[in-house]
Amino acid sequence: MSEYDLRQYRLMLECIRLPISDTNLLLKVVDRLQALLSVLEEKDREWLSKFTTQWWILEEIYASRDSISMDENSINNINKACHEITELIEIKIRELSNCSKQ
């Protein structure tokens, strides 16, 4: 795996750690994650499936919004999805970091 991909995963991690307090920020995170995902040079299908499942939760919450603010249920679902995405990204970063050390 490349240093380029490692850089993209680190940018994803930076993005997903933003506090999402309203739908405008949610849209920025969703769009940024999608853009970073699309430019990866190498894509692990299993990882990608897990990532997109969680990303899709964020996308659906944004798409179903009825105002800029979000209800408690949406915020909880966002937090869960962001936690899962964070863990997936951290796994990839560790894998790539280990590969680059060898």
pLDDT tens profile 58-88:
999 998 877 777 888 989 999 999 999 999 9
41 phi and psi angles, rounded to 5 deg? -80, -40
Q: Supply the pLDDT for residue 92.
A: 95
* Residue 51 near residue 85 (C-beta atoms within 8 A): yes
pLDDT tens profile 10-27:
999 999 998 888 888 999
32: nearest Cα among 55, 2, 53, 48: 55
The model's pTM: 0.90
- Within 8 A by CB and 6+ apart from 37, the residues are 12, 48, 51, 52, 55
Instruction: Please count the residues of the chain.
Output: 102
